[in-house]
Amino acid sequence: MEKFNRTSLAIAVCLLPFSYSVQAETNPLTQELQRLKHQEAAEDAQKALEKADQFLTPTTEKQPQEQIVVDENLPKIDKISIDMLDVKANVDFQPIIHRYQGSNISSHQIFAISQAITEALYQAGYVTSAVGLKSKDLSDGHLQFIVYWGEVDQYLVNKKLPDTFKDKAMLSVLPSFKQNVFNVHQLDQFIEMMNTSNKSVQVDVKASEKEGKSNLNFVTSRRAWPILQLGYNTSGAENNANGRNQATLSVRMSDILGTNDEWSLSTGHRFYRQHSKNNQLNYSISYTQPFSFYTLETKLAKSSYEREVKGINDSYSSSGRTNTLNVKLSRMLFRNKESILSLYNELEFKKRINYIVQREVLNRHENKWSVGLSYTTNLLKGKLYSELTYANGLNWSGADSLAYSEKGDKTLRVVSGNMTWSRPIELFKRNTNYQLRIGAQYSPYHLYSDNQFSLGDEYTVRGFKGGIISGENGAYLSQTFSVPFYPQKYAISQITPLIGFDIGQVRHKSNLPRETISGFATGIKATISNRLSLALSYAKPLKDVKHNKNKSVYYFNGSVSF
């Protein structure tokens, strides 16, 4: 369990008259960091679904195949082969070969086979490659095709060879496809890497003067100023006088180094009536650098608080801070027109310090390593984003244990996953959207609060605030049905009413009973002039819990970008 030194023990004894308040008081940073973790997971899932809408082609019904006409007067084809010229390409020609091999084939059907092979190449992304007959001699019953691979010749920026530092730097971190076979799905990777906060890039494929080769022209435009976003929300678990309202500020800037790099600085400040004795601040700075099929992300964050806690006869001060460093390396393993698969490794180094009456009562170093897979694909006429993660504690440099059992400290081991599925539905001749989100976690050991599975906020189970329940293991299911309108009047770009239902449960490794909560939410989102975003929801618990007393809550989140 979390260790207190002797001085801390003495202070705790002296504060026994305030024991009720001590038990009721929850570390505000634990609540805040859990909420930020849930918010980040929801935003990552939304970005992945938006990327799927941009890059993944909806699955279409298979067209009926041309019927093979049996005619004994035509030559019989005993074997069909395709010469790939020793190029290793992820193309499956076997269904085409099996369909026609062993048949009597006319010249029309030979053309149909050539078209089918070309279509298979296009579906695999080789849109500049072509197919031809390797030999017209069919006397031996062997029908031979050959693939003429389309290659990349030059990279151009705005129709000319790169000549500035930023243009050269921008291209230097791209996957090396010059003089290699061109695949349009790899081009999607280019587009994703190169479009940043301060840069917009479109890619045109132009024929080169060299036979069988193409030039990639990167149509690039840059902006000099960073993107500034001011926000306001009511995410706090308490009332207006005690931190319910929060102001946020974020600044995003890209291409400072010219290498498609992305930088972000964000902060959040909660408002308290007695702000000289109560405050809570969050700061973070992040840097993202893509290179080839890899992406390196680093994030340094600091959260701090001061809180005046009232006892029976008097009050005392408490404070604390949490510093966190995250380093994440991702690798795109597979990409085509229907799915994207990525692997990532992440290291987290965290230091937590808490004080009561200016005396240190907690000082912990917490390190862990995570490995995970993320998968985005088409599913059931919609888009699916899923993520599976395994986290393991690291006892480096005297780091504290993150888990324990009845026998003592244990190494943290946690398996977690989340899934978001979104599908458009036509209802009464109007486009609507259904979204399903599922999250779960399992650990074989007792966990300290930061790594527990927390439920009860606008990103998990609505109707609550502050992570009303938590435990080592748990799961939740969230459903939202929304109806977007696009009035395009009075600068209103979009208005989206929504309704949702959520349910979740946590289980404890101790003898505490499992806890289940559920909630209902309804609200509206609006986008004005593509700069101002507003969201207001009313949510009410459907299954009461002892801490909430069945009270309804409001969620408001607004932001304006410049």
Nearest to 268 by CA among 279, 255, 282: 282
Query: Which residue ranges in the chain fall short of pLDDT 50?
Result: 1-25
Give the residue carrying structure tokens 């806890």.
515
83, 144: one domain = yes
Predicted confidence at residue 315, as pLDDT, reads 86
Please check whether residue 418 lies inside any domain of the structure.
Answer: yes
Predicted confidence at residue 90, as pLDDT, reads 86
The last residue of one of the domains, among 391, 423, 451, is 451
111, 190: one domain = no
Predicted confidence at residue 66, as pLDDT, reads 63
Distance CA 62, CA 399 (A): 56
Domain range for 92 = 79-148
Query: What is the DSSP annotation of 40-69?
Result: HHHHHHHHHHHHHHHHPPPP-PPPPPPPPP
381, 339: one domain = yes
Predicted confidence at residue 434, as pLDDT, reads 98
Distance CA 109, CA 320 (A): 76
The last residue of one of the domains, among 148, 181, 200, is 148
pTM given for the model: 0.90
Distance CA 522, CA 38 (A): 20
Q: Which CATH number fits the domain that encloses residue 121?
A: 3.10.20.310
Q: From the CA atom positions of the chain, what is the Rg in Å? A: 29
338, 353: one domain = yes
**CB 495: neighbour CB atoms within 10 A?**
16
The number of helices, as runs of H, and strands, as runs of E, in the chain is 7, 27
3-state secondary structure (DSSP) of residue 130:
strand
Provide the domain count of the chain. 3
Please check whether residue 117 lies inside any domain of the structure.
Answer: yes
372, 444: one domain = yes
Nearest to 423 by CA among 380, 476, 460: 380
Predicted confidence at residue 419, as pLDDT, reads 98
Predicted confidence at residue 44, as pLDDT, reads 97
Predicted confidence at residue 424, as pLDDT, reads 96
Please check whether residue 48 lies inside any domain of the structure.
Answer: yes
The last residue of one of the domains, among 435, 451, 467, is 451
Q: Report how far apart, in Å, the C-alpha atoms of 238 and of each of 9, 118, 280, 310 are.
A: 29, 63, 13, 15
3-state secondary structure (DSSP) of residue 36:
helix
41, 13: one domain = yes
Strand partners, 206: 215
Predicted confidence at residue 23, as pLDDT, reads 34
Please check whether residue 495 lies inside any domain of the structure.
Answer: no
176, 215: one domain = yes
Predicted confidence at residue 338, as pLDDT, reads 93
109, 193: one domain = no
364, 445: one domain = yes
144, 177: one domain = no
